[in-house]
């Protein structure tokens, strides 16, 4: 049960390791030390009162002659569900709207320009159950649903781009379900949507029961605050997914997720960060928090006894930069808002330094990959 | 100068953090705790006497009904150069043969089946200088050079596959130079060679002055101990490079490198590990150690004063597994041999669990990448 009480890696390091060594440890684990963002006292007070972890960091870039700094503030929100999973569906959604709405209010005080919520943020992550009811009732229209309307109001009120990952009901294609992020412009317009490209079949992630691989490709959204893309959850394990968003021009790639400790925690700090490095862009990894209890027991295909929860969603949301630096993670156990000021000029500066796009030999890989997907592909193996 | 005295991240954590928390920290940073490999006392004594860091770990897999465990022991060797960089070329090479030979002898005592040396292991990493002489004299034939003969002797003597990354002189193509890993079978036969696919143009890595991008593609070598591939140094920043070796069947991908602290250390623990996770295989990252002094000063294109060394090569060689676990790193400052016993059955077990190859949608990416490399490519950007 230790994972439930262990609050954060960073706090443990800071508590126990003396100054000079701590500096080196942090350099190796986190890259260059980030300046803390000075947040308004009203925001700090509100976070304390509303009981969520609030942290702020600045990712700086060098000054340039021809471009002004391009500072954008992103907000990453992680949270527990509010009501029991057997409460009425609309009550559960409304309670989450209220909770996330009050965190967004603090984000606005902190000057956040683009906020992103966790995967399927209006519901418990109930796909472990394989039950249809009541979970499919949480699905909404991306363009015209209750939750999208709520986000449009937030966007207009706070002049903020809102990335809202929901369970989508696609009425014009036979009422199919999708795992979809709706991107709402700061004007309140729905800019578009980005569907989850890779669907897991691992452990309790029975999502392939509910929806298929996304068909929206690798769209990038040009917002007033920069070009953003959304790589939902399991897509973070697929380097090509990050890559293709980057090739389409993404400066910031959000990764709204729902993942549990026993399964993925040692990978969490590796994957989004590797993507930021490999693609010369910022990545924002967001994970939900807490344990969600389901009335009907389910099994996990691992020979263990039937049980009522998915395990502990470990939060730890963070931002990674193209220079290999990253922010500390939010709490493993508590709701949180991570505010990060990103100077997007850093992307091109690091690209010009490291040149991965230039040295990437993509023509070679296009050719090799095209061959590799053929049924008759013969692996290139040398034998004695 | 702190990086010169800081010996290892793991030692600092173990010194300062109390037991229960240490366990959680290690789980998050390193994945599941690895069993230490019990090494023969003669090996431990020899390592002490010969002054190198010797560590051993076991990566276990679950028992299966139809396949026996497939345990292979790999050895990763990191080392400083021996003689000053202005000593006669042949003396420098011979001194390195002697030093690495004595470490290989200990590897043999530890039962190593496949050993890999660091990038261009027979010479200083002199490409920072941009000088031709005497550095190009270190180049040798991959098939028939002094160093390959030396490795063939080691291979036969110890029944060991030897991966020997050298500066290659390719006489049959106009005497061109390449950055090449020679793969010598445990029978002593040269199984083939793998050239560095991605050449850096960053900081003091002026390698593009000396050699071009490799033309050997993504060959995998079927050895008696498993299918291996070699992704040399800068190729670790390119996820597609790892991926294509994996698509060709590599079970273990070696990444012999030469990289310095100020530039890449925060990326070091991320990239090879991400590749092991994303590709369901083992990766072995090897970096040289120490500071190499050059008689003629050179500049680094960063406005700073001309100087005589490249910076500190920080060692920290490690092995990463498909389940997200990794070994601790070897010393940041000392020569070393890391022995890891890998049960290759783990690769398929993790592949069957996580299914990245199945959920990878490579046909989609082959198509998108083929479009993206066209001059007239139009990024997929949605605007309001």
The interface residues of chain B toward chain A in range 55-84, judged by CB-CB distance below 8 A, are: none
* pLDDT of the residue at A5: 61
Judging contacts by C-beta atoms under 8 Å, the chain B residues touching residue A152 are none
* pLDDT of the residue at B75: 98
* pLDDT of the residue at B77: 98
Contact between A341 and A35 under an 8 Å Cβ cutoff? The reply is no
User: Does A324 lie at the interface with B, CB-CB under 8 angstroms?
Assistant: yes
* pLDDT of the residue at B48: 98
Q: Are the beta carbons of A202 and B379 separated by less than 8 Å?
A: no
Residue A2 has pLDDT above 60, yes or no: no
Catalytic residue among B128, B151, B233, B281: B233
* pLDDT of the residue at A19: 85
CATH code for the part of the protein at B34-347: 3.60.110.10
User: Does A137 lie at the interface with B, CB-CB under 8 angstroms?
Assistant: no
The interface residues of chain B toward chain A in range 357-376, judged by CB-CB distance below 8 A, are: 358-366, 368-370, 372-373
Q: Using one digit for the tens of pLDDT, what is the confidence trace for A88-102?
A: 999 999 999 999 999
pLDDT confidence tier of residue B1, bands split at 50, 70 and 90: very low
Mean pLDDT for A93-120 is 98
Q: Using one digit for the tens of pLDDT, what is the confidence trace for A32-81?
A: 999 999 999 999 999 999 999 999 999 999 999 999 999 999 999 999 99
Give the range among A17-26, A372-381, B332-341, B346-355 with minimum mean pLDDT.
A17-26
Domain extents in chain A: 35-372
**B295 classed as catalytic:** no
**B12 vs A17, A189, A270: nearest CB:** A17
Q: Are the beta carbons of B372 and A366 separated by less than 8 Å?
A: yes
Region for residue B233 given its phi and psi (left: phi exceeds 0; alpha: psi -120 to 50; beta: otherwise): left
Q: Are the beta carbons of A369 and B373 separated by less than 8 Å?
A: no
Residue B85's CB is within 10 A of a number of other CB atoms, namely 20
Mean pLDDT for B350-357 is 96
Contact between B154 and B104 under an 8 Å Cβ cutoff? The reply is yes
Domain A35-372 falls in which CATH fold? Nitrilase/N-carbamoyl-D-aminoacid amidohydrolase (3.60.110)
More confident residue, B24 or B167: B167
The shortest C-alpha distance from A124 to chain B (Å) reads 23
pLDDT confidence tier of residue A1, bands split at 50, 70 and 90: very low
**A119 classed as catalytic:** yes
pLDDT, chain A, mean: 96
Mean pLDDT for A338-350 is 98
Helix (H) or strand (E) holding B48: helix B41-49
**A239 vs B18, B239, B324: nearest CB:** B239
Q: Are the beta carbons of A16 and B16 separated by less than 8 Å?
A: yes
Q: Using one digit for the tens of pLDDT, what is the confidence trace for A121-176?
A: 999 999 999 999 999 999 999 999 999 999 999 999 999 999 999 999 999 999 99
Q: Using one digit for the tens of pLDDT, what is the confidence trace for A143-156?
A: 999 999 999 999 99
User: Does B192 lie at the interface with A, CB-CB under 8 angstroms?
Assistant: yes
């Amino acid at each position: 049960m230790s994972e439930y009480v262990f609050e954060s890696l960073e706090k443990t390091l800071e508590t126990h390791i003396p100054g000079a060594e701590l500096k080196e440890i942090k350099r190796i684990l986190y890259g260059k030390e980030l300046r803390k963002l000075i947040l308004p006292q009203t925001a700090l007070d509100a976070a304390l009162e509303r009981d969520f972890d609030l942290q702020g960091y600045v990712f700086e870039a060098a000054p340039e002659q021809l471009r002004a700094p391009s500072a954008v503030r992103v907000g990453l929100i992680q949270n527990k569900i509010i009501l029991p999973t057997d409460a009425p569906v609309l009550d559960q959604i409304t309670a989450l709207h209220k909770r996330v709405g009050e965190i967004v209010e603090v984000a606005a005080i902190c000057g956040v320009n683009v906020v992103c919520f966790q995967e399927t943020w209006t519901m418990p992550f109930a796909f472990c159950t394989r039950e249809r009811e009541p979970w499919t009732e949480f699905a909404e229209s991306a363009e015209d649903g209750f939750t999208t309307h709520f986000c449009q109001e937030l966007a207009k009120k706070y002049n903020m781009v809102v990335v809202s990952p929901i369970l989508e009901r696609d009425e014009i294609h036979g009422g199919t379900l999708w795992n979809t992020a709706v991107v709402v412009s700061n004007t309140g317009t729905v800019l578009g949507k980005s569907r989850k490209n890779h669907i897991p079949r691992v452990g309790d992630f029975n999502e392939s029961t509910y929806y298929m691989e996304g068909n929206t490709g690798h769209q990038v959204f040009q917002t007033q605050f920069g070009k953003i893309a959304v790589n939902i959850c399991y897509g973070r394990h697929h380097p090509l997914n990050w890559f293709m968003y980057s090739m389409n021009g993404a400066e910031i790639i959000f990764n709204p997720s729902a993942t549990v400790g026993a399964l993925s925690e040692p990978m969490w700090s590796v994957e989004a960060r590797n993507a930021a490095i490999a693609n010369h862009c910022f990545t924002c990894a967001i994970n939900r928090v807490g344990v969600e209890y389901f009335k009907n027991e389910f099994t996990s295909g691992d020979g263990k006894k039937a049980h009522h929860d998915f395990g502990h969603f470990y939060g730890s949301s963070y931002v990674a930069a193209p220079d290999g630096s990253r922010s500390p993670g939010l709490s493993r156990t508590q709701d949180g808002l991570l505010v990060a000021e990103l100077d997007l000029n850093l992307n091109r500066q690091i690209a010009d330094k490291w040149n991965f796009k230039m040295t990437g030999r993509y023509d070679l890989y296009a050719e090799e990959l095209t061959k590799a997907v053929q049924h008759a592909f013969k692996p290139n193996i040398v034998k004695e």
